Amino acid sequence: ATSFADAAAEVLRANDRGQRTVAAPELYPHQWSWDAAFVAIGWATLSVPRAVEEMRHLLRGQWATGMIPHIVFTADAGYFPGPARWRTERAEHAPEVATSGICQPAIHSLALYSIGERARRNGGEDAAVFRSFLLDTFDDWVRWHRWLDSARSTHPSGLVEIHHPWESGMDNSPRWDAPCARITVGRMAPYEREDVRHVAAADERPEDADYDRYLWLVEQLVEVDYDDEAARRVVDFRVGDVFFTATHAISADLLATLGEDIGRPAEAAELRGMAARARGAVARTVDPQTGRARDFDMRAGTWIDADTIGGFAALVCGTDHEAYAALVAQLLGPQWCAHPALAHPVPPTVTPDSPTFVSRTYWRGPQWPVLVWLFTWALRHHGHDDAADAIGRAGRAQLGDLTFAEYYDSLDGQALGSRNQSWTAAVALAWAA
């Protein structure tokens, strides 16, 4: 019998294309930004040099602005929207390689930190490979956070603003229902979706009306040649994303620690400043009624009320002791992990008590192992080992069918979306290590 870790390793190996790993064998045949970060964490349990390669390949896509794009394309095969729709060659700051023109949550330095820990434990060649990679690329990761801090954190809320639901990574989350409802889709070239060909049932994916808005927002960004300042003025979707902000905060902090290790105290201090600002912004979003964080609709000037996992953003970046402990209790409580209707006691993307909850539709209710893992990492990092252990045990048990699905129906436990999803296998490896 193959062990859990062996089966997960097999998935990564099968999805390995040399220096990059496809996010999924069919549905996502390119390198995705936050996928790559989690995937590298998984690779590090098998090979630190291979983990480092994954991160290095992602940096090929980095824009001169500092932005790390959400997709680095290798071939225009089987995915929509591909390079022809993104038209990033029009952008002054785009790199040589084809990429998308938007970004994804800044989980990267958390990955670096985690690879670094393993490299240090392994010692020898692994420690040397990691250190030399860090020396080589430290400035690139700093530039990514500087861009988030300057170009994307101009709003008085201090939140990282996103210009597309895809930038949140949680595409069709109820978090974006209100701002998306106000988008008026204009004229654009016809298109055909690819994603629905690769899943068992269309209701596991976003709707056609969602896709029209996604593509329309791409048109708006192309129209201004992806100029950051112009985008803030023209794009219909302009939202302060509290979860993204939390990833920026924790990653900036961890990158600062790595910077201190390699003798870069000035940059480390700068990163600490960014992290403190972002963490403060997350704390200021808290709804006094629920204790959870909220996103901010910058077009409407209103807080967004949605009962989603995004509300637990402060667990990722940290906040004061008391607020943190209360949030942990809430996450473990009867509306979330301990909800009696759940097949597995791990956080669902939306509480089953919400009217927007759908147990099998993408970011509207299923459980995503990658997020479950992120919370176990964060809980441990912030000193809540018991909660991390409990959720980690359940998260691992959920993967017992060895399908390594993209997400799972939170009520009946059925595997959904892609199978053999790289980041699911990666977090399985991280749990098993």
d(CA 295, CA 286): 9
Binding flag, residue 54, ligand DGY (CB under 6 A) = no
Token look-up 């998306």 returns 180
Tell me if residue 54 is catalytic: no
**In 10 A of CB 377, how many CB atoms?**
20
**Structural Rg of the chain based on CA atoms:** 20
Query: Which residue's CB is nearer to ligand DGY, number 328 or number 350?
Result: 350
Out of 195, 307, 406, 409, pick the active-site residue.
Answer: 406
- Residue 64 in contact with residue 37, Cβ under 8 Å? no
Question: Which of 20, 50, 57, 70 is the binder for ligand DGY (CB under 6 A)?
Answer: 70
d(CA 48, CA 42): 10
Query: Which residue's CB is nearer to ligand DGY, number 147 or number 166?
Result: 166
Least distance between ligand DGY and beta carbon 61 (Å): 14
- List, in sequence order, the alpha helices (H) in 285-354: 313-317, 321-332
Tell me if residue 353 is catalytic: no
For residue 408, the cross-strand partners are 367, 415
d(CA 242, CA 283): 9
Least distance between ligand DGY and beta carbon 138 (Å): 27
Token look-up 């390689």 returns 97
Out of 161, 171, 236, 267, pick the active-site residue.
Answer: 171
- Tokens encoding 122: 């392994």
Residue window 164-203: x/- pattern of binding to ligand DGY, with contact defined by CB under 6 A: --x----x-----------------------x--------
Query: Which residue's CB is nearer to ligand DGY, number 195 or number 270?
Result: 195
Q: What single string gives the DSSP state of each residue in 68-104?
A: -BSEE-SS--S-SS-HHHH-GGGSTT--SS-B-SSB-
The footprint of ligand DGY on residues 130-169 (CB under 6 A) is 166
Query: Which residue's CB is nearer to ligand DGY, number 70 or number 381?
Result: 70
Burial 123-158 (b: 16+ CB within 10 A, else e): eeebbebbbebbeebbebbbbbbbbbbebbbebebb
Least distance between ligand DGY and beta carbon 115 (Å): 24
Query: Which residue's CB is nearer to ligand DGY, number 39 or number 282?
Result: 39
d(CA 71, CA 409): 26
Least distance between ligand DGY and beta carbon 171 (Å): 5
Least distance between ligand DGY and beta carbon 394 (Å): 25
Query: Which residue's CB is nearer to ligand DGY, number 43 or number 86?
Result: 86
Query: Which residue's CB is nearer to ligand DGY, number 45 or number 100?
Result: 100
d(CA 192, CA 423): 26
Q: How far is CA 351 from CA 97, 177, 359, 377, 405, in A?
A: 40, 16, 9, 21, 20
- Closest by CA to 195, choosing from 36, 335, 23, 337, is 23
The residue nearest ligand DGY at its CB is 166
Least distance between ligand DGY and beta carbon 195 (Å): 6
Least distance between ligand DGY and beta carbon 193 (Å): 9
d(CA 237, CA 419): 31
Residue window 240-259: x/- pattern of binding to ligand DGY, with contact defined by CB under 6 A: --------------------
Give how many residues touch ligand DGY by CB under 6 A.
4
- Residue 294 in contact with residue 286, Cβ under 8 Å? yes
367: which DSSP letter? B
Write out the catalytic residue numbers: 171, 406
User: What is the binding site for ligand DGY (CB under 6 A)?
Assistant: 70, 166, 171, 195
